[in-house]
Every structure is written in structure tokens, then in C-alpha cells.
Structure 1
Amino acid sequence: MSEVTKEKLLAFYKTMLTIRKFEDKAAELFAAGKLPGFVHLYSGEEAVATGVCASLTNKDYITSTHRGHGHLIAKGGEVDKMMAELFAKTTGYCKGRGGSMHIADVDLGILGANGIVGAGQPIAVGAAFANKYKKTDAVAVCFFGDAASNRGTFHEALNLASVWKLPVIFICENNKFGISMNQKDHMNIVDVSQRATAYGIPGVTIDGNDVATVYEVAKEAIDRARRGEGPTLLECKTWRHYGHFQGDAGLYKDVAEQEEWMGKDPIVRLEEKLKELKFAKESDLEAIQTQIQAQIDAAVEFAKQSPEPDPEDVMADVYAP
């Protein structure tokens, strides 16, 4: 853990806390009927996006999922524009047209969240191919869940990426459930990383709730890709605190397992680590919490005060009417 300095850990904490507070506010707003459309929350998985994106720059690409708020924040997305998008306001990243599942910002290298399971995998391969074709050292990172590794897009993407040694890192956020189905019921392996063997690329499984571990292992895979050594499949074991979407009570989850994983909360673990290493006192963490909560509250006000879309613009930005 030599590379994980005090400054890095504190930066990780701020990013993870921003994601958590954004998601908690989104849950509150959705329950109050303030947000149109579904939201799929990332709470509990913050260490994955934070640890991975810490080694990326704006020239690097990511593809996200229906559970994408955390990826976007970790990649540098602005919470006010994100919140406005959830409110379907014109100041949102996609002018209110994309909503929670389709936020994108090409300038930040965010090629979009995606409402189709597994759809980001071939997009990431395409971006990685473009990077290699242009002879840059940029990489593409593809986030997806355990169940998405059952889809044909996954296998096609890994096959082509391995054959052409493309600079792409496949990040499986294994939260053990594909909607309401436990991983043990939809695949005959324990570790999704085993699937890398079929394509002759490295496959690694790690604790996805330990941000320092995620950072170091992901950095190694990213550096490998930048050197032209091809793709890696990195599986991060984690857990979503909420149901599949807001409104899903998650009754299919074993109560004891839910309690066990809630005890592995990545933010609480990082708080304990910061205090143990004497990198921060409780008062320091409380000050950060207050600051970030104010940022989220300001984002909500920005979204509320932003204009509604004009019905006359319904055909704007459409390729063919």
C-alpha cells in the first residue's frame, strides 16, 4: 500500500462520501415523488468507482451502467448537472433527456450510462480500438455487473479485445445479484474473473469494498493497458445497500447476509483506516461530511430552480424526425 498516501486516502474519502450523499438524496427525492423515471442507486459500491477512476484522466474513457451515478462522480462529473438531469431539467448533462440511466459527458471521457445490461462492453472496446488506432496512451474502462457477464456482448467484447490487445479494462462490480437473482443461481462459477482464462487475459478478483486495494490493482491493470499489453478483467466483490431499483424492497436478500455486508460498508472502513493511521480525527471527517452535504443540497436547489424543457424543442438533437 506504499502508493496510497494520506492525500490519496482523503481524496478517496471525499469522492466516496459525495457518491453516498448524492445517492441518499436521490433516494429521498424519488420516495417523495420528485424525480421522474427510475433510479438505480450505487450506495455500498463506492470504493470500486473511486479506486478505479483515481488513475484515469479526461482523455481516458469509461462506459457505465444503469447504476451509474457513482462512476460519473468518480470520473469528475458535476453533481449540480447530474442532479438537474435526474430532475429532467435543461441544465442537466443531457438537457434532461437522458435521465438517471443515460447521463454522459464526452469531454470528461464519460461515454454514457446505459439502460441496456451489458451494452457498455462493446462500446468500451470501440473506444479502446480508437485509442490504439490513434496511437495514444489513453485507455477505456468498462463497468458492469455480475449478471452482465452472462451476455453475449461480454464474450464478444473480451474476445475481440484480447485478439487485438486493446487498452481496455473490464471492471465487474459483483454485488451478487442480477436484479433479484443471486449469482449462484445464474452462473456455475464463484468468481467472474475465471472467465478471463477463456480469452488468455489476466483475471483478478479482489475485495471491492477496500478502496486502497481497488486503487492499486486497478492502477496496475490500467498501466498495463497503457503499455500496450492488452486487457484485464478485474472483479470487485461488493454489495448494493438498496434493492435493484428504488421501490424494490430487496426481500430476496438473506437478512443475515445483508447485515454482514452492511458491516463491511466501504466508507465506514475507510473512516476507521484514516483514524487508525492518524490521517484524520473524527472532527476532520465531520467537517468533510458537512461540506459535502452542503454541496449536495446546493445541487438540489440548482436543479429545482432550473428551467423545464420547452415542448417546442422536442425534436432538437434528434438525428431523424
Structure 2
Amino acid sequence: MTDISTTPSGPAAEPRTLAAGPPGDAADLLRDMLRIRFFEDETQDLFTRGLMRGSTHLCQGQEAVSVGVCRALRHGDAMTCTYRGHGAVLAMGAPLDRAFGELLGKAEGLCRGKGGSMHLTDVSVGAYGSNAIVGAHLPITVGHALAARQRGTGAVAVAFFGDGATNIGAFHESLNLAAIWRLPAVFVIENNQYGEYSPLASTTPITRLADRAASYGMPGVHVDGNDVVAVRAVAGEAVERARAGEGPTLIEAETYRQSGHSRSDPGTYRPPGELESWLQRDPIKLLQDAMVAAGRASSEELSALREEVRQEVAEAARRAIAWPAPDPQTRFEDIYS
């Protein structure tokens, strides 16, 4: 197992420099993470105001994983994710307003208002869907990878999933098959420390989930999931390995879910001080601090960027709220391909 981690035993360790790369690179990564953060904050507000129905599972604190991995992909690659998948779909390039429209059940939503939060999909950017069933999308990723290999497209398939999914059959079957056939797949564990309400230690007998890669003869990499540059570097290596025909990789990105499991969860099961400790290593804060330290941006420039993105997200939400609901007759459309 390769360990590219600045947090070997939790959130206390100092981050490494995040602002490496060409001028403007760090600002682009920060902009992408801010879009996701403000999208999730706005989503929570819309639910509170009664404008969204159903449930939602937010990803504040996990933005560096989505952005870092998706930045390593190219047009034509395929991505699947969990029901906590707003960030991954946005990181693939889905438009903010149509993503809001889908959560609001609008006719202009990404899935014409039929998928909602837990089935957010935008095939035009390679986002082949969030999935409401834990781990059910991993075999779909294997299918995408097999299709890419059979067609000779050079595409790579990526799956995001939580630490809890590593304990179900679909995880083992998918990694086993991908390894046997040396498929162009990358499996990304978003280890946010909890499977719903259960801490990892209560459900899993090991502390490094990337160690499970050894069972399938594939590389396993542990990375600080709050370091967007580190995540992108690890993902880039795994994606290029897959594209070169060298088979799949398992990445464990260690991060933290700042919100509850769902919008009704206050997170009272967390030990005292745990959330506050992880908030000191918020991925957006880490990147901003590193940019200032490296002379890539001033505090004033970062404040201006945050406000610009906040307004962009708010305007996208306003457009989506104003869109009409679907015609009831459209419920009979798109049932069969």
C-alpha cells in the first residue's frame, strides 16, 4: 500500500503545501470547491424553507475528494457516486442551475425533475448517476470500464463510495472482477469516518481501508482527502495507470463529513471536540491558507473570490426556483430506453 497522507492518525497533523502548480491552478481548485460548498449550503437552506421535498445527504468538508479526483479525468470518462453525490456531479461539470432544478423537481432539472437529490445524473459530462443503494453503483462502474476496454475508447471509469460500502458484497465482487480483467477503473473510498451513524471502528476491523486492495492484487493508496492537490496527484497516477491498460487502483481519501448523515441528523453521536478538530483542517481553509502563505493570493482576493462564487450559486438557485414544474404527463416518458 502506498501512503500519501498528511493525516496519519486524524486531523491534528500539519498540512503540506497545497498551492503547487501553475499560476491560477490553486484558484481554479478553490473555485470548484467553493461552488460545491455554497451549493450544499444553499440546498440546506432550500430544504429548511420547504422548497425541496424528500431527503438530502450533504458533503460539506469532502469537497477536496470530488474536485481532486474529477480534475484528473477527461471528457469521455465515466463517474458514478453515492447518494451523497452532489459534489461529484458538480465537479464533473454539471451546471449549477440545472442541478438545483433537479433537486427542486423542476422540468429544467438535470433529469427533468425525476431523479432528485439521490439520483443526480448528467450523462453529458460523464456523471452517470448518484445511487441511493449503498455500493450498488460499483458494478456499474465495472461495466463502464469493460465497455471502454471493449470499444477501445481509452476512457476510464471512476466510482466514489463511502467507507461503509467496503463491507458489502458488491465492493468485493466489483474489485475482484476489475482486477481479473485489468479494467480501466479507479475506486475511490471517501472515508468520512462514519457509515451513517456508526464510526468506522465499530463496523470494520482495520483502520486503513486501502489495505484491502492487496486482496485483489491492485495498488492501494491512502491519501489526505482534505488536501486537494494531493488527491489530484494520486488520482492522476491511478487514472493514467488505468488508461495505459495496467488495471484498477483503490484509493482511500480520508476526510470528514461536517454535516449529519442526512438533513434530520444532528450528529449527537460524535465525540466532544471531534468536529471542531476536523474543522481546523477544512479543505477550503487549508487551500486558502496555503495560497496566502505561498503568495498566490491575498486575503482580500480570496474574500472577493468567495463572494463572487457565493453570488454565482445564489443566482443559479434563483433561476431554478423560477422554473416551472414538469407537465404531469411527462411521468410516462423516459421509462424505457
TM bin, normalised by shorter chain, reads over 0.9
Q: Give the TM-score of the pair, scaled to structure 2.
A: 0.93
- Unpaired runs of 5+ residues, structure 1, are none
Residue 171 of structure 2 aligns with which residue?
A: 154
Q: Write the letter of the residue equivalent to 2:37.
A: R
Corresponding residue to 1:195 among 209, 212, 215: 212
Look up the match of 1:170: 187
Q: Specify the code of the residue in structure 1 equivalent to 2:95.
A: E
Q: Secondary structure at the match of 1:141?
A: strand
Q: Choose which of 15, 24, 42 in structure 2 pairs with 1:7.
A: 24
Task: Select 2:280's aligned residue among 233, 242, 263.
Answer: 263
Distance in 1 between residues matched to 2:20 and 2:40, nearest whole Å = 29
Contact map agreement 2:182 2:248 (CA 8 A) in 1 = yes
8 Å Cα contact 1:40-1:67 kept in structure 2? yes
TM-score normalised by the chain length of structure 1: 0.97
The one-character-per-residue Cα deviations of 1:140-189 (angstroms, maximum 9, x if unpaired) are: 11000000011100000000000000000000000011100000000100
Match of 2:270 among 242, 253, 262: 253
- Does 2:116 correspond to 1:89? no
Superposition deviation, residue 309 in structure 1: 1.5
Kept in 2, the 8 Å contact 1:62–1:124? The answer is yes
Question: Which amino acid in the other structure matches residue 235 of structure 2?
Answer: A
Which residue in the other structure is 2:4 paired with? Answer: none
Displacement of 1:254: 1.1
Correspondence for 1:50: 67
Q: Secondary structure at the match of 1:161?
A: helix
What secondary structure is seen at the aligned counterpart in 2 of 1:314? helix
Q: Does 1:206 align with 2:223?
A: yes
Q: Is 1:234 the equivalent of 2:251?
A: yes
* 1:130 partnered with 2:130: no
Quote the sequence identity (%).
43
SS at match of 1:80: helix
What is the match of residue 77 of structure 1? 94
**Is the Cα–Cα contact under 8 Å of residues 48 and 173 in structure 1 kept in the other structure?**
yes
Q: Which residue of 2 aligns with 1:310?
A: 327
TM-superposition CA deviations, 1:45-94 (whole Å, max 9, x none): 00001111111122000001100010011110100000001110000000
117, 138, 142: which one aligns with 1:121: 138
Q: Which runs of 5+ in 2 are unaligned?
A: 1-17
The residue number in structure 2 matching 1:17 is 34
* SS state at 2:127 partner: coil
Quick one: which amino acid aligns to residue 332 of structure 2? M
> Which protein, 1 or 2, shows the higher relative CO under an 8 Å CA cutoff with sep ≥ 6?
2
In 1, the alpha carbon distance for the partners of 2:57 and 2:152 equals 36
Structure 1 counterpart of 2:114, which letter?
R
Counterpart-to-counterpart distance in 1, 2:19 and 2:53: 45
- 1:29 alignment partner AA: L
Q: 2:232 aligns with which of 207, 215, 218?
A: 215
Q: Which amino acid aligns with 1:237?
A: E
Distance 1:245 1:5 in 2: 38
Structure 2 match to 1:139: 156
> AA paired with 1:56?
L
Q: Secondary structure at the match of 2:75?
A: coil
Q: Which amino acid aligns with 1:309?
A: P
Matched, 1:283 2:324: no
Letter of the aligned partner of 1:312 in structure 2? Answer: Q
Letter in 2 for 1:74: A
RMSD: 1.3
More deviation in 200-209 or 303-312?
303-312
Instruction: Give the Cα–Cα distance (whole angstroms) in 1 for the partners of residues 264 and 327 of structure 2.
Output: 30
Aligned-residue offset at 1:7: 2.1
Alignment length (residue pairs): 320
Q: What SS does structure 2 have at the residue aligned with 1:112?
A: strand
Within 2, Cα distance between the matches of 1:266 and 1:60?
A: 25
Q: AA paired with 2:203?
A: H
Counterpart position of 2:7: none
